[in-house]
Structure 1
Amino acid sequence: MHFTIQEFSKQTGLPPSKLRFYDKKRLLEPSMRLENGYRAYTPEQVHLAKMIDSLRQADIAIKDIKQYCDANEQQKRVMLELWKNDLDKRMKAISAARKYVGGIKASNTQTLLLSKWKKEKFLAWQRFEADRTPHPFKQSFTIAKQQLNGQVTSDDVYVKTEAITSNKITGKIGFEVDSNFSTEDSSNIQLERVPPTLFAVLENCRADDAFLCFSYIQIVVRYGFKPADYKLERYTNINADSYDFLIPLVR
């Protein structure tokens, strides 16, 4: 028994134009072609067609659906888990975007932005201790960069604070490096792979701003954000006196 494309459309609820599209992408090919060249489908393809379209409605890429249809049971389990994790991240990103829009006040000029690292980055970190003064690690930027022997891939400098006492501050200085960067030559260098991340960004913060911590708390409360990890300071180069304050929201 075979269905014409019109009959198959009625069985599946999918318009003929979509069935032709799936055929063109070799995702759902007709069981056979009739003598007149028309597409013909079998009853067994009805559920497959509905499942394929359901995965498309879930925003799964066509190439991934095709791979899923050709996979064995174990491979399908792995793919389903990856899809679930990806959808969870997208839901978190949408939630963060909703909180951001909800925190905007039309009467005020906004200083907080959303920014996403679409590709993973590799950061080479080095730990330093400095006196607790404004911009405490500035003098260490050049030293940290020189230790990487010209292997940095960006002028940006990253700082994350780890501990603060009454007169000292400990933190890490990081630079972007290539994925092939090796830490074998130095025990003080740690390589971190940072996945694509959505950040809330407070721009042009002064390194000597004594009220930044208070401003940060106000932002978190106002927008209802829950930081996903440590906060970062990003300087445009080793001589910069201001930085962007990056608050990770979704990783």
Structure 2
Amino acid sequence: MVNWEDSSIIVWFPHSLTQSLHPYHEPIELDKSRLLQANLHVFPDCYVRLLNAHSNSLQVEIGYRIQLNVAESKLNQLPADWNYRIERLNPTLFITLESETADKFMCLNYMRTLHKHGFKPIGPRWDRYESGMDDKFLIYIPAIRTL
């Protein structure tokens, strides 16, 4: 479990990608460098939210957690042509599960884990990557305890 005890800001960038072994590497590096050039303190990991998968294409959002105390004023100055979305999160508990990029049964595994321990998802699943070249990643599921 991972508990974000404070409110957080995530900046999400949409991407249309072709399915491949490491489809997120280039967009992760591009988006992260943009945020760093804007002098935002970006936490080291990034999050991928799958929006749609069809045939060989992926529609995803790639998000970056921004340090809250410096973000508010600087976020208003980001260029509109970056096509980003800002999400503000209240403190959140995440159930995490390590997975491999080649794991075809990860959905089944994380649902079993949630139900086994009495948790209910309260939002979409995220996958946490460090570089986009990782063979392993952490599934993040925002959840509440139901027992």
Bin of the TM-score, shorter chain as denominator length? 0.7 to 0.9
Q: What is the aligned-residue RMSD (CA, Å)? A: 2.1
| Alpha-carbon spacing, 1:240–1:132, altered in 2? closer, same or farther (3 Å) | closer
1:143-181 Cα shifts (integer Å, max 9, x gaps): 111222252421111111111112211011111222332
Q: Which of residues 160, 172, 178 is equivalent to 2:61?
A: 172
1:190-234 Cα shifts (integer Å, max 9, x gaps): 11111100111113x222322212212322343343200011111
In structure 1, runs of 5+ residues without a counterpart are 1-113
Contact 1:135 1:208 in 2 (8 A): no
Structure 1 equivalent of residue 109 of structure 2: 215
Q: How does 1:1-251 map to 2 (within 5 A)?
A: 114-148=1-35, 149=37, 150-177=39-66, 178-180=71-73, 181-182=75-76, 184-187=78-81, 188-203=83-98, 205-237=99-131, 239-250=133-144
Could you tell which deviates more after superposition, 168-177 or 241-250? 241-250
CA distance in 1, matches of 2:41, 2:80: 15
Contact 1:183 1:189 in 2 (8 A): no
| Alpha-carbon spacing, 1:209–1:179, altered in 2? closer, same or farther (3 Å) | farther
1:76-107 Cα shifts (integer Å, max 9, x gaps): xxxxxxxxxxxxxxxxxxxxxxxxxxxxxxxx
Runs of 4+, deviation exceeding 6 Å: none
User: How far 1:127 sits from its partner (Å)?
Assistant: 0.3
TM-score scaled to structure 2, two decimals? 0.80
Structure 2 equivalent of residue 73 of structure 1: none
Residue 176 of structure 1 aligns with an amino acid whose one-letter code is R
Contact 1:183 1:190 in 2 (8 A): no
| Alpha-carbon spacing, 1:161–1:183, altered in 2? closer, same or farther (3 Å) | farther
Q: Which structure: larger Rg? A: 1
Instruction: Pick the structure with more helix per residue.
Output: 1
Q: How many residues align?
A: 136
TM-score scaled to structure 1, two decimals? 0.49
Q: Percent identity, aligned pairs only? A: 26
Higher relative CO (Cα under 8 Å, sequence separation at least 6) belongs to 2
| Alpha-carbon spacing, 1:213–1:147, altered in 2? closer, same or farther (3 Å) | same
